[in-house]
Structures are given as structure tokens and as C-alpha cells.
Amino acid sequence: MFGSSIYLRDRPAFTGGSPQAVYEELWQRGRKGRLRTRAFLSAATLVLCALLVNAVFGIVMAVVVAASDTLVHWRIYSASRVWRLGLRGDQRMNRFLRHTLERRGHRVLHARTVPEHGIADQLVVGPGGVWLVHNEAWSPGAEVSQHGGRLFIDGRTQSKLVAGLTARAEAAGAAISRAAGTPVTVTPVLAVHGGKLARTPFTADGIVFAPPLKLIRWMRRNPAADRSAEEVEAITRAAVHALPVGSNAAARTAA
């Protein structure tokens, strides 16, 4: 169906492989169907617009429809890339931060160890505050939502995830405060790679959830502090001292 997800659960023909491999196989098998749908929509647009206006307008609109359909499906496929590769989205978020907040005076520390609480994917220090960014990739069909102020993934609460992230941010804030000699609050946020989100950003369990670019925009528009460039540098130096570089992915599971 036009614009619909091709992520299917419990389909006997595709059992035995990883969910990512199943999704990739389904996507490839659906290629002919997508091309047929695109051709039908373009042809229908061409005929209708040619009858209502003229042939040139019909051709132009047919091209626009074909291009729009291609873009829609490309975005669906691209959005699932991190999950399909079995990744969490850290590197993708690193690129976004490098080309956005880092160019606006923010400092970003990558893969820092929070003692006894695992790895902080990114620690963003800026004039508006300090954020601990966590990345998660869910399947394209996973429902990511909040109900009653709590996070749900496919109808299930995520108490372990949110508790671990909250504790990690609090521990990071305490460690940086000791090193800086001044109180520093670290706000946990979560970048969602993939999944189906009804609206974003949304807050659940005290944590803001959004796709990477929307999350970055939210961080810019919702400052929790007002610090000078000198203060940003001082807090960054304290964070470098207090939170060593993570040496292995196993530390992530500590939280």
C-alpha cells in the first residue's frame, strides 16, 4: 500500500532471520509493487491534469508525484538504516551535533564513562545547559509513545531504560559539579532512531524523546541555564576530568 510500512511480524515465510534481515528482505521484495504504484499514480495524474489543464501541466505534475512518492519511500528506508544495521544511532547523532550545535558554541563530549552508571553517548555543554544524550534505535513498526506521563514501546513500559538514563544523568551532574566546584545540572534526553512516534518531541518519565534533528532543535529552544562562553569551557573541562573516555561498549549495560 502506498506510504505504508512493510515491517511485518510473525510471517512464516521470513522466520529464522534477524528482524533487521527480515525487514531488508521484505523491502527488496516490495520493490516491484512500489514501482507499479508509482507508475499508476503518475499516469493517473498525467491524464487528469492534461484533461483539466493541458498536456505540459500534466507531465510536470506526473513528475512531481513520482518524485514525491520516491522521496517518501526513501525517507522510510533511510529512517530504518540504523536499526537495520543493528546500531543504536550514536554515530548518526554525532554527525548531526557536529553540523549544528557544535557550530553554535556548544561543546560535545563523546562516549564518556559515568562511574558505576555506564556510558554517556554524548554530553552536550552549551550556554543553555548540559544535556546527556542517549540514543536508541527501534524497528520501523515499533510504537514509541507516552501515556500518563510514562514511556511505552509497543504498549510496554520501559522502567529499566528510563531509570538507568535518569540515574546516569544525575551521577554525571554530581561528578561534574565536584570537579567544577559549582552546581551543574545534567538533563537526560533520548534521540529516537526509527520507530513510529505519534508526535514529537514528547516528555515521558521526565525525559524528552524525539528524532535527532527535532531533539537538537528542542535543546536550542528550551534552555535550562544562561552561561557565558567562559562558563561553558570551564564546565567542559570539568566534565573531561570527571568523566573519562569509555573504552568498551560493555560499560553501557552497567546502568
Q: Is residue 250 part of a domain?
A: no
Q: Which helix H or strand E contains 118, and what residues bound it?
A: strand 118-126
| Span 116-137, pLDDT tens digits | 999 999 999 999 999 999 999 8
Indicate whether 74 and 132 sit together in one domain: no
Indicate whether 196 and 157 sit together in one domain: yes
Tell me, what CATH number does 220's domain have?
3.40.1350
Contact by Cβ (8 Å): 144, 205? no
Average confidence (pLDDT) over 163-176: 97
Q: How confident is the model at residue 247 (pLDDT cuts 50, 70, 90)?
A: low
Q: Is residue 231 part of a domain?
A: yes
What is the reported pTM?
A: 0.73
Indicate whether 94 and 165 sit together in one domain: yes
| Span 180-221, pLDDT tens digits | 999 999 999 999 998 888 788 999 999 999 999 999 999 999
Last residue of a domain, one of 41, 63, 85: 85
The structural domain count of the chain equals 2
Contact by Cβ (8 Å): 196, 140? yes
Last residue of a domain, one of 29, 53, 85: 85
Cell of 61: 505534475
Burial of 55 (0-12, 13-18, 19+ CB in 10 A): exposed
Report which residue type is found at 155. Answer: G
Q: Is residue 13 part of a domain?
A: no
Indicate whether 108 and 171 sit together in one domain: yes
| Span 32-71, pLDDT tens digits | 898 999 999 999 999 999 999 899 999 999 999 999 999 8
pLDDT higher than 70, residue 8: no
Burial of 86 (0-12, 13-18, 19+ CB in 10 A): exposed
| Span 91-106, pLDDT tens digits | 899 999 999 999 998 9
* Backbone φ and ψ of 104, nearest 5°: -115, 25
Q: Is residue 9 part of a domain?
A: no
Cell of 216: 537538537
Indicate whether 57 and 129 sit together in one domain: no
- Residue 35 structural domain: 19-85
Q: What is the 3-state secondary structure (H, E, C) of 191-253?
A: EEEEEEECCCCEEECCEEEECHHHHHHHHHHCCCCCCCHHHHHHHHHHHHHHCCECCCHHHHH
Indicate whether 152 and 66 sit together in one domain: no
pLDDT higher than 50, residue 4: no
